[in-house]
Structure 1
Amino acid sequence: MGLCLDVSRVRQLFIFSLIAFASNFEYGFSTTYLNTPVEHFKGFLNESYLRMGKTLTEPTYVIIWNILLNIWFVGFFIGIWFSPVLNDRFGRKKALHEEKRKTQIALQDSCLRHVFPVNPLHEEEIISDACECSPTNQRGAMTFLSEISYSSMCLVGMMLGTRQLLGNNLVALMAFAVPFCAFFFLVLLFLPETPKFLLISRSNRAEAERSVIFYHGSDNDLDTVIKEIVMEAEMEPVAASWSSISEVLKEPYLKRAMLLSISALQNTVPLWSMLLSSTYFLEEIGLDQIVASWSSTAMTLAYTIGTLAGAIWIERSGVGPISWFISSELVPQHHRSLMQSITYALNTVIVVVLTFSILPLYNVIGSYAFLILYTIPSTAAIVILYRYLPETKGREIHEIVAELRRMTKPI
């Protein structure tokens, strides 16, 4: 019996790891591969200006570099608002598969044109898939695979961007992710739709049961799982739509969920400036380029180890949901994609504003820029989370929503 449980657990871990890496492979890689070869990219930009008969000044370089680092957020922001339509109309599987198809095209184009690839839809699909497919008592650990896969690929991108590996060959560096994304594109063809989408949105009990067996294993209590999904659906029988934005802004418990989601994501904002520009900051304080690039790689290794430790710690200690999937655990299924879109859109705006501001402000006031842009807002967000965040460990979504309804006052 114990061996069967171990095999089932390993099988679940393998399936959710495939989903996580399928979503985050290119996303994490493209976040950091510009970080360590910063001097090589600067030379590339300078050469481009010389060919046009112009001189690349330092202020102009800062502006262009900021645009290169942040341009993919434009695609991310647009994709955020397409995601609810794709998720709720076509399903999580088809939405994620369509995202991988477009990512593959963007990657190939980036190798030919030296353009930064855009990956706009991935995060919501992986979070929806993980939350809706995984068993309740394993939801935190399984959804944490999204962060593990992302941090791992950030580490790969940072390491390959060093001068000793692919940092001096930009085409090879950008082409690295192409075959892997093609593999994951094929893998997604064989995964079933999420059981909650099939039962709640499609009213297809037979397919939902098959999906539960696939994701939970044949030894799960099928009737109990289906019953819990039905209970969640019965809580809010009316399907969500774009008109539900007004409901989110009016309903107290939904406003509370949105505030908590934004506050949790606020504590991820400082990470972006380090993932995107840590080598630049280290070189600015006088470190050698090689030392700076490998120090950035070591920082990303620590980030990866931290996410691995967090996956274990969060399930054992149960201190509440985690930043990127908190909104998925605080609202009913039919509000999930819309709530994620709203909170991610606001977070994306915050990230773009702050990451675009950090380089010029750092050049003016030095390290105090981090205090103003990151420390103060993050401290306020932590206070909000400590005061209002409910526990979610081992609980069904409808139980969490019911608690939010009871404890929420108009805010």
Structure 2
Amino acid sequence: MVTARYVLTVVTVALGASTQFYTYGVINPSQELLEEWINRTYYHRNGYGMSSMTLSVYWSFVVSSVAIGAFVGSLLTRRLAETCGRRNGLIANGIVNVFGALFEGIAKGTKSPELLILGRFILGANMGLTSGLVPMYLMEITPVRYRGAAGTVHQVAVAFSDWFSLLLGLPAVLGGEHLWPLAVAFPGLPALLLCIILPLCPESPRYTLISLGKRQEAYKAVRALVGEKHAKATFDSLIKEAALTPENANTSVSDLFRRKSLRTPLLISVGVMIAQQFTGCTAVFAYSTDMFIKAKLSKETARWSTLGIGIAYFLCACPSPYLIERLGRRFLSLFQLTGCLIALIMLSVFTWLQNDFGQEWASYGSIFALVAYMCVYGVGSPIPWLITGELFSQEYRSAAVTMSTFVAWFWAFVISTSYLPFQQLVGVSFSYLPFIIGLVLSIIFMAFLLPETKNKSIEEIVNEFRSRSRTISRNFVVRRHLNTTTQPELTRLMEESDEETNGYGAAESAPTNRPSVTQDD
């Protein structure tokens, strides 16, 4: 049902954009070496080195500069997606990425840790945009039956880039004293290839038809993606979705809060992102080598153990495209959160036994706990990035993705900045306690609110939330006015409630008022 051009598009986006998450973990195995370089540079400038606490805070800022850039970039997702389009937005993002990689690559030669931070900030902004644009683009170019699998491709590529960054970041590979600039600048290469290949791939048909109103171009894009045989049926489903979209809809993030029917989907979208941050993934990806060293492993063993958990993460993320369609989003999400909760409790206990009671065998228990953590995290990791695009119709999708990715990267910044100082304050074993508490709350939240969207079209999901909002509002009106209002007045109030909770404007009349959807300008 899909064409070779569709496959080329997905592979190009996955390898050229999704793998940019490489930047987050590449400095993990080389933390000690880079800290020495920063301190040495500081000494040459000032005549004295940094204190242990100052260096720890500075290193936290080096790590978190990616997250700072990412939540800045996430705020630009909607504007770039609607102004440039999904595909062209990714191309523009790739061009900026090349410059960020260049800054990182010349940091050592110019003796400037500030350039390293600037480069990581730029690549972080790239990651923030990528985390919104890629799932949106992949979901919009993919037929319904493959939508969940396509949405997980992004996270599988992220998992690949994570372990690959841990491999290249090893001192024995490219993370040594002389070669680490090559390791940190590597993301510029796939970004450059994306900028060359992606212009040959089609723009999102949904964006072309619904946002631009260009019917013929949208049909050509559909045909390029699914082939002539399935093009008409696929295009007809886009026409139906276009009918739900008010003409010239100009939405913003504030609309998500104003419309009652959008508040629950927004709460779910933001909730799943916060829940994933409560797994502690940001801290593990950034500081796993340090965690192993604090668990009394040797530095060399800690580095290879970090690579091992990265590989475990990737291998367990690989079957997620199949599992997410087989088992559903809701089950996998609850499985992931519960598994991470158990693994973090185990990690906390093993670290406590090792540090406070000198039980050397517990260090191997810490390795087992982190491997188990990565396995269960990998299985459900794509869901937060996938679910937002499924809960909103076209005119609200980019705003919703902007909001959810901003929340994700804001929490990533908070965690990556505060974890190391917090760990020094309370000790390693107790540093996992906030994540454990957060996971308990997240599991309760997901169990009550997260819907199952497997095998449902965007139109069906949108209508379910609209009906749910209308039912709640109608019941509220009935209870409030039943004993004080006449029947005609009660009927009028219920009709007004229906209009107020219709989060998609005059969608029912849209088919007769959308000439831009049926012909090109």
Same fold (TM over 0.5): yes
Indicate the structure (1 or 2) with the bigger Cα radius of gyration.
2
Q: 2:21 aligns with which of 20, 28, 32?
A: 28
Residue 225 (structure 1) aligned with residue 249 (structure 2): no
Q: Assess, with a 3 A threshold, how the Cα gap between structure 1 residues 291 and 111 changes in structure 2: closer, same or farther.
A: same
- Measure, in 2, the Cα distance between the counterparts of 1:175 and 1:319: 35
Q: Quote the residue 1:368 is aligned against.
A: 430
Residue 130 (structure 1) aligned with residue 138 (structure 2): yes
Residue 349 (structure 1) aligned with residue 410 (structure 2): yes
1:10-51 Cα shifts (integer Å, max 9, x gaps): 7644431221222122x2211111101111111111211221
Matches within 5 A, 1:278-297: 278-297=288-307
- Measure, in 2, the Cα distance between the counterparts of 1:274 and 1:199: 42
- Measure, in 1, the Cα distance between the counterparts of 2:104 and 2:43: 22
Q: Quote the offset at 1:72 in angstroms.
A: 1.9
Q: Is the 8 A contact 1:258 1:339 kept in 2?
A: yes
Q: Quote the offset at 1:318 in angstroms.
A: 2.0
- Measure, in 2, the Cα distance between the counterparts of 1:271 and 1:253: 31
Matches within 5 A, 1:1-400: 8=2, 12-25=6-19, 27-52=20-45, 53-114=47-108, 115=116, 116-117=119-120, 118-119=122-123, 120=125, 121-168=129-176, 169-220=179-230, 222-241=231-250, 244-269=252-277, 270-320=280-330, 322-366=383-427, 367-372=429-434, 374-400=435-461
Q: Assess, with a 3 A threshold, how the Cα gap between structure 1 residues 247 and 11 changes in structure 2: closer, same or farther.
A: closer
Q: Quote the offset at 1:239 in angstroms.
A: 4.2
Q: Is the 8 A contact 2:152 2:321 kept in 1?
A: yes
Q: Quote the offset at 1:231 in angstroms.
A: 1.8
- Measure, in 2, the Cα distance between the counterparts of 1:346 and 1:226: 34
- Measure, in 2, the Cα distance between the counterparts of 1:239 and 1:400: 22
Q: Is the 8 A contact 1:13 1:142 kept in 2?
A: no
Q: Quote the offset at 1:164 in angstroms.
A: 1.3
Moved more, 193-202 or 378-387: 378-387
- Measure, in 2, the Cα distance between the counterparts of 1:407 and 1:376: 30
TM-score (norm 1): 0.92
- Measure, in 1, the Cα distance between the counterparts of 2:153 and 2:414: 28
1:262-305 Cα shifts (integer Å, max 9, x gaps): 22112321111111111012112221111111111111111111
Q: Quote the offset at 1:355 in angstroms.
A: 2.2
Q: Quote the offset at 1:195 in angstroms.
A: 0.4
Q: Quote the offset at 1:240 in angstroms.
A: 4.4
- Measure, in 1, the Cα distance between the counterparts of 2:312 and 2:467: 40
Which ranges in structure 1 are unaligned for 5 or more consecutive residues? none
Q: Assess, with a 3 A threshold, how the Cα gap between structure 1 residues 201 and 397 changes in structure 2: closer, same or farther.
A: same
Q: Assess, with a 3 A threshold, how the Cα gap between structure 1 residues 166 and 99 changes in structure 2: closer, same or farther.
A: same
Q: Assess, with a 3 A threshold, how the Cα gap between structure 1 residues 239 and 301 changes in structure 2: closer, same or farther.
A: farther
1:212-239 Cα shifts (integer Å, max 9, x gaps): 122223332x222222212222223144
Q: Quote the offset at 1:159 in angstroms.
A: 0.8
Which amino acid in 2 is paired with 1:94?
Answer: N
- Measure, in 2, the Cα distance between the counterparts of 1:238 and 1:362: 53
Which amino acid in 2 is paired with 1:139?
Answer: R
Q: Assess, with a 3 A threshold, how the Cα gap between structure 1 residues 319 and 246 changes in structure 2: closer, same or farther.
A: closer
- Measure, in 2, the Cα distance between the counterparts of 1:125 and 1:137: 21
Q: Is the 8 A contact 1:133 1:216 kept in 2?
A: no
- Measure, in 2, the Cα distance between the counterparts of 1:265 and 1:72: 17
Q: Quote the offset at 1:78 in angstroms.
A: 2.0
Which amino acid in 1 is paired with 2:38?
Answer: L
TM-score (norm 2): 0.74
Identity of aligned residues (%): 22
Moved more, 338-347 or 170-179: 170-179
- Measure, in 1, the Cα distance between the counterparts of 2:234 and 2:273: 30
- Number of equivalenced pairs: 401
SS in 2 for 1:391: coil
Q: Assess, with a 3 A threshold, how the Cα gap between structure 1 residues 285 and 74 changes in structure 2: closer, same or farther.
A: same
- Measure, in 2, the Cα distance between the counterparts of 1:354 and 1:240: 37
SS in 2 for 1:392: coil
Q: Is the 8 A contact 1:228 1:396 kept in 2?
A: no
Q: Quote the residue 2:372 is aligned against.
A: none
